[in-house]
Chains A and B, each alone.
Chain A
Amino acid sequence: MHEAIETLKRSALAELSTSGDLQALEHFRISYLARKGQIAELFDKLKDAPPEQKPALGKALNEMRRSIESQFEEKKARLETGQKKKSIHLDLTLPGLRPWVGSKHPITQTLDEIKRIFLGMGFQVETGPEIEDDYHNFGALNFPPDHPARDMQDTFFISNDVVLRTHTSPVQIRVMETQKPPIRALIPGRVYRNEAISARSYCLFHQVEGLYVDTNVTFAELKGTLVAFAKQFYGSSLKYRFRPSFFPFTEPSAEMDITCFLCKAKGCRVCKNTGWLEILGCGMVDPNVFQSVNYDPEMYTGYAFGMGIERIAMLRYGIDDIRILFENDIRFLSQF
């Protein structure tokens, strides 16, 4: 019986190899693989075999059938494609079947890039509420009541002592209220300003703020950190400068400028012909801020910095009207 299986296999394979077209192949199929073909006949004979040999013979038969079937299918497929090639011209230059293409909003892309750099320096992301109380938004940040510094930020009020936060700095307070130094927090978020909407300002925008508190943190280190950031973000060849400024919650306070990359510092409309672009505000955490969170200002020093994400995105992509960022036109979004 084993011999019969072997013989059938050999003759089948030989015939298969000489079947040169689909018609010959159909003959082959009827002769061997059909319900009443030679392989089926052999299966019929299995019932006469001695019972102890049946499993082994069955297995051998099955294997033989599978092998011939697969080679038959393979050959058939080959012949079919060959035929198709002759009749239909396959134009491979047709476009692929493309799915929809997604995109990340340019504000998020810019924030992601900033986050990536500071997370690499050991900062951790912290967030806080947008509906904020007067204490966290102003009082604890050393904006005394009835102080003109409050005019620096036009505020939306919800009630007398609840506001839409005007900056991400209240999260500094919330972080320090719940954690002990060392603190290295990166705080992204949406902030609100009650300003007329124009090409240059929108009623809300996004900031990302950093806070570092530890023993022996210096202004020199603040400069070092921000220069390292700026070089990673804007390129290592840029020049920078720090100028004195004023924020109630930092002292000394500074603004950081970098050389205008749009005009290569020659002076253009965007940098108002100065060759410099302001990119962020920063400073050493004011001792009064430490006092409001019960940190000992003699023991700890720290720095904070903050930047507007829209402004950076606009500079980066050459966008001249902030409102387009919030219109979400697909033709705009597709560019990022």
Chain B
Amino acid sequence: MKISLKWLQQYVELTVAPEDLAHRLTMAGFEIEDIEYQGSVYDKFVVGEVLEVNKHPKADRLTVCKVNTGTEVVQIVCGAPNVAVGQRVPVGLSGAVIPHNQHDPEGKPFALSHVKLRGVDSFGMICSAHELGLGDDKDGIMVFDAHAKVGAPLAQYLGKDDIIFEVGITPNRPDAMSHFGIAREVAALLDVKANLPKFQLKESDVSVQQHAKILIEDTENCPRYSGRVMFNVNVADSPKWLQNYLLAIGLRPVNNVVDITNYVLMELGHPLHAFDYDTLAGKTIVVKRAKQGEKFTTLDHKERTLTGDTLMICDGERSIGVAGVMGGENTEITHATKNVLLESAYFNPASIRRTSKYLGISTDASQRFERGANPNVTTFALDRATALLQELCGAKVLKGTIDVYPVPVKPKRVPLRIGRTNRVLGTSLTKDDITTLLNKIELTSIPSTNSPSRDEVMIEAPTFRVDIEREIDVIEEVARVYGYDNIQTDARANLSFYEHPPKKDFSDEIRDWLIGRGCKEVVANSMCDIETAAVTSKDFVEVANPISKDMAALRTSTIPGMLNIVRNNIFHGSKDIRLFEIGRIYFKTNSQAHKNSDSFVPGYYEENRLAIAFSGLSNPRHWNEQPRQTTLFDLKGELEAFFCKLFLDNYKFIPYSTDNSLTDSGLVIHLSGKESGYVGKIRPEIMKRYEIEQDVFVAEISIPNLEIARECERTYRPLPKYPSALRDVAIVIDEEISVETLTMAIRESGGPLLKQIELFDIYRGNQIAAGKKSCAISLEFNSEEQTLAQEQIDTIVTSILNHLQVTLNASLRT
């Protein structure tokens, strides 16, 4: 909230500079987020006195003036017709910035400097109201009161020299949401006293009891209701000083009655509400809950539908205000208002918050009530406002206050252990230190009757400190007043070690590998539109209150987000893509497997996925190599290399039998027999939707499955003692037979000595029959017992070839 230092000074003497005060408040937990120097606009402007006015030698419309600025006499060329000797005028000196340039079509500000006007030196400017941003008068210079002090800073003369603090007040400190509340903190910081405003109130002889009744039906949600009635209230504009205070903290003046309630709210932090007394049926106030579905029009002229839970202020017949949130249109103060009933009540914070949330109205009043107002300040705030109404609106105040307060709230008492305080903070404060600190903020120690231990002290907190309920709340106050910076920095970490082994972060390993392989990591939004989420799973999770339609669901695949990134990069000219992401996807689930897991909320499942996208050139352009476009085998090979690096021996790539929703030609990845992802080429329809015109290959793999598949300890295998023998064969098979089938058939028939099978060439052409392909394969044989003889290898190769011939109708290419 905004705090005006001028206003604050009414209650506490500010013995330090504003910047120092800002620092101290910040260090006490009231962060000063911004300091606004109102007067800075009028920097280098002073009140000047016109000493001489002479004709300009070369221009009839200009005059050459001598002006006393308090410290010197300067020569100023002036074009205003009304300038005259003896006037007190606003003078901008060299370096001042004129807020409004009258000669500029847009009125842009400009800085003053020493100029020559038609050959005559001019060292400043005498300004019009329009130029200063103080009004519309642009025909002549502004002329001040003859008593204006010559040389005074203009901001000071105009009363626009206030300094405004933007204070960040944490939700636990509603007591500080006012000028007096901040004054209390300032007093504690500066070791001075904060004084409540003083006022006088003259009551008439007529008792208020004869003219109004107050009845609380719901005392749980309204523990106290105080009211006063006053007659002959003259509703008009507020005086300038009051308007200036409100304007300084960003409030718009309305009329004197409303302005006074706002002023007292900002002064004492207690919300008040004024009703037009003559509109009150039965001159009665009843506090009760609304009827379910009741319609009510609030001050902002909006019709609201209420729930049976809404606490209402009613008169003898109808609702007249939503308690603690906003008054009703039907009893609003208008210029016709003559008589006023002023409310100063205390409402249950939870009730006000529910209403405020439900109606979607947050007001200065509701913000204070829902955080917790002070039930024991209602009558003081009421009297303060009433006195101002009497002073500024001529109100005739009826005698007495109607104060319904069945169960008065008493100050809270909290026992505080000195030892515990020091144990939590790491301090060594004595009982005296602690009570002295707490006394500064009105937390007093109470001599206890039931002989407390020497370690304990009973602390009583005033009722405005709604945040103090437990010992730890008091310990925090000890720390705050002592100063966090005065608590030593104990770098001796009290080391106790975990017993269970640390989790290895598998994602880090994946990331490092892929980065080494030339891929760039991306971090994408995990929210997407419903249509996108639905493409990859019907079990998508919807957001009940999304920011926009584009983010109404959680993603069920990492690929659409990746495609957006690919598209944007291509659009910006980066056409060669090697990107990856490690990120989560989200589902609703009824699966028992996930239900019993205590790491997810029942009904939901999240999984970490690895997404990779390749597109464009397979390698950077080289001066001695032909560039080649990426193919599916680049990405598949990248995965094979990675699986090899992880020593996965139980993985399989199985070509799709039917199309996947995002990709067409591609393969499903099985890890340890479990379907765990896929690699493929993005379908043309999807490419069109994302406006991508070059082939994009993607892979998505479940990281938990990957982690399970590789969960095996590595143990050393002795190196082969005897050299391996290599044998190359070219096998001709039907085009339809996959290389994988061929490899498996070789594996089946190769026996234990066959260690490696490597395809190194495929040939189709006129040297072999149509519809056939020749696969050149290198076979590696090795024995643990001996160097293999040619004849042994021949035997194995022959048996492989026989097997291939029988099972695949394969032949050896000769």
Binding site for B on A (CB under 8 A): 94-95, 97-105, 107-108, 112, 121-122, 124-126, 128-133, 136, 145-149, 151-152, 156-159, 162, 164, 174, 177-179, 181-184, 190, 192, 194-197, 203-204, 214, 216-221, 223-225, 227-228, 241-246, 251-255, 272, 284, 286-287, 301, 325-331, 333-334
Complex A-B: 12 CB contacts under 8 Å:
A95-B623, A102-B521, A105-B523, A156-B544, A181-B496, A219-B487, A221-B494, A223-B488, A272-B33, A284-B472, A286-B472, A328-B568
**Chain B residues closer than 8 Å to A243, beta-carbon distance:** 26-29, 31, 484
B612 to chain A, nearest CB (A): 12
Option from B476, B490, B517, B577 in Cβ contact (under 8 Å) with A251 = B476
Q: Is there an interface contact between A146 and B350, defined as CB atoms closer than 8 Å?
A: yes
User: Contact string, B1-44, partner A, CB cutoff 8 A, digits 1/0?
Assistant: 00000000000000000000000001111010110000000000
Q: Is B689 an interface residue (CB 8 A)?
A: no
Q: Is there an interface contact between B544 and A148, defined as CB atoms closer than 8 Å?
A: no
Q: Is B198 an interface residue (CB 8 A)?
A: no
Main secondary structure of the interface of A (DSSP, over half): mixed
Q: Is B189 an interface residue (CB 8 A)?
A: no
Task: Give Cα A147–Cα B619 distance, bound, in whole angstroms.
Answer: 58
Q: 8 tightest A-B contacts by CB?
A: A220-B426, A100-B518, A218-B426, A244-B29, A246-B170, A182-B496, A102-B515, A220-B490
Task: Give Cα A157–Cα B552 distance, bound, in whole angstroms.
Answer: 11
Q: How large is the interface on B (under 10, 10 to 19, 20 to 34, 35 or more residues)?
A: 35 or more
Q: Is there an interface contact between A133 and B601, defined as CB atoms closer than 8 Å?
A: yes
Q: Is there an interface contact between A216 and B476, defined as CB atoms closer than 8 Å?
A: no
**Chain A residues closer than 8 Å to B568, beta-carbon distance:** 327-329
Q: Is there an interface contact between A330 and B171, defined as CB atoms closer than 8 Å?
A: no
Q: Is B492 an interface residue (CB 8 A)?
A: yes
User: Contact string, B398-440, partner A, CB cutoff 8 A, digits 1/0?
Assistant: 0000000000000000000000000111110000000000000
A154 to chain B, nearest CB (A): 9
**Chain A residues closer than 8 Å to B497, beta-carbon distance:** 122, 182
Q: Which of the candidate stretches B144-152, B524-532, B640-648, B787-795 sits at the interface with the other chain?
A: B524-532
Option from A192, A228, A244 in Cβ contact (under 8 Å) with B484 = A244
Option from A128, A177, A326 in Cβ contact (under 8 Å) with B524 = A326
**Chain B residue nearest in CB terms to A99:** B518
Q: Is B191 an interface residue (CB 8 A)?
A: no
Q: Is there an interface contact between B584 and A130, defined as CB atoms closer than 8 Å?
A: yes
**Chain A residues closer than 8 Å to B569, beta-carbon distance:** 328-330
Option from A204, A244, A329 in Cβ contact (under 8 Å) with B572 = A329
Q: Is there an interface contact between B599 and A203, defined as CB atoms closer than 8 Å?
A: no
Q: Is there an interface contact between A132 and B601, defined as CB atoms closer than 8 Å?
A: yes
Q: Is there an interface contact between A328 and B606, defined as CB atoms closer than 8 Å?
A: no
A327 to chain B, nearest CB (A): 7
Q: Is B125 an interface residue (CB 8 A)?
A: no
Task: Give Cα A103–Cα B170 distance, bound, in whole angstroms.
Answer: 41
Task: Give Cα A272–Cα B352 distance, bound, in whole angstroms.
Answer: 35
Q: Which of chain B's residues 522-579 have a Cβ closer than 8 Å to chain A?
A: 522-527, 541-547, 551, 554, 565, 568-569, 572, 574, 576-579
Q: Is B747 an interface residue (CB 8 A)?
A: no
Q: Is there an interface contact between A182 and B498, defined as CB atoms closer than 8 Å?
A: yes
Option from B494, B516, B545, B622 in Cβ contact (under 8 Å) with A102 = B516
**Chain A residues closer than 8 Å to B424, beta-carbon distance:** 218-219, 284, 301
**Chain B residue nearest in CB terms to A136:** B601
Option from B490, B519, B522, B601 in Cβ contact (under 8 Å) with A223 = B490
Q: Is there an interface contact between B353 and A146, defined as CB atoms closer than 8 Å?
A: yes
A101 to chain B, nearest CB (A): 6
Q: Is B604 an interface residue (CB 8 A)?
A: yes
Most buried by B among A162, A245, A251, A253: A251
Q: Is there an interface contact between B27 and A102, defined as CB atoms closer than 8 Å?
A: no
Q: Is B480 an interface residue (CB 8 A)?
A: yes
Q: Is there an interface contact between A246 and B171, defined as CB atoms closer than 8 Å?
A: yes
**Chain A residue nearest in CB terms to B27:** A243
Q: Is there an interface contact between A105 and B522, defined as CB atoms closer than 8 Å?
A: yes
Task: Give Cα A126–Cα B565 distance, bound, in whole angstroms.
Answer: 29
> Known interface pairs A148-B353, A164-B543. Does A99 touch B425 (Cβ–Cβ under 8 Å)?
no
Option from A94, A99, A192, A287 in Cβ contact (under 8 Å) with B620 = A99
Option from A101, A196, A252 in Cβ contact (under 8 Å) with B480 = A252
**Chain A residues closer than 8 Å to B622, beta-carbon distance:** 97-98
Q: Is B708 an interface residue (CB 8 A)?
A: no
**Chain A residue nearest in CB terms to B513:** A102
**Chain B residues closer than 8 Å to A152, beta-carbon distance:** 171
Q: Is B270 an interface residue (CB 8 A)?
A: no
**Chain A residues closer than 8 Å to B515, beta-carbon distance:** 102-104
Q: Is there an interface contact between B171 and A100, defined as CB atoms closer than 8 Å?
A: no
**Chain B residue nearest in CB terms to A286:** B472
Apart from the given pairs A99-B620, A328-B522, 8 other A-B contacts in the complex at a CB distance below 8 Å: A102-B514, A102-B516, A105-B521, A125-B505, A146-B354, A182-B498, A203-B525, A331-B574
Q: Is there an interface contact between A158 and B543, defined as CB atoms closer than 8 Å?
A: yes
A321 to chain B, nearest CB (A): 15
**Chain A residues closer than 8 Å to B711, beta-carbon distance:** none
> Known interface pairs A130-B526, A158-B544. Does A100 touch B625 (Cβ–Cβ under 8 Å)?
no
> Known interface pairs A156-B546, A328-B579. Does A122 touch B521 (Cβ–Cβ under 8 Å)?
no
**Chain B residues closer than 8 Å to A112, beta-carbon distance:** 508
Q: Is B722 an interface residue (CB 8 A)?
A: no
Option from B349, B473, B505, B523 in Cβ contact (under 8 Å) with A326 = B523
Task: Give Cα A243–Cα B427 distance, bound, in whole angstroms.
Answer: 17
B191 to chain A, nearest CB (A): 19
Q: Is there an interface contact between B488 and A220, defined as CB atoms closer than 8 Å?
A: yes
Task: Give Cα A104–Cα B517 distance, bound, in whole angstroms.
Answer: 12
**Chain B residues closer than 8 Å to A125, beta-carbon distance:** 502-503, 505
Task: Give Cα A100–Cα B638 distance, bound, in whole angstroms.
Answer: 13
Task: Give Cα A178–Cα B597 distance, bound, in whole angstroms.
Answer: 12
> Known interface pairs A131-B601, A220-B487, A243-B31. Does A103 touch B521 (Cβ–Cβ under 8 Å)?
yes
**Chain A residue nearest in CB terms to B30:** A244
Task: Give Cα A263–Cα B754 distance, bound, in whole angstroms.
Answer: 68
Q: Is there an interface contact between A216 and B423, defined as CB atoms closer than 8 Å?
A: yes
Task: Give Cα A286–Cα B31 distance, bound, in whole angstroms.
Answer: 22
**Chain A residues closer than 8 Å to B770, beta-carbon distance:** none
Q: Is B495 an interface residue (CB 8 A)?
A: yes
B566 to chain A, nearest CB (A): 9
Task: Give Cα A107–Cα B525 distance, bound, in whole angstroms.
Answer: 13
A196 to chain B, nearest CB (A): 7
A187 to chain B, nearest CB (A): 12
Q: Is there an interface contact between A333 and B520, defined as CB atoms closer than 8 Å?
A: yes
**Chain A residues closer than 8 Å to B170, beta-carbon distance:** 245-246
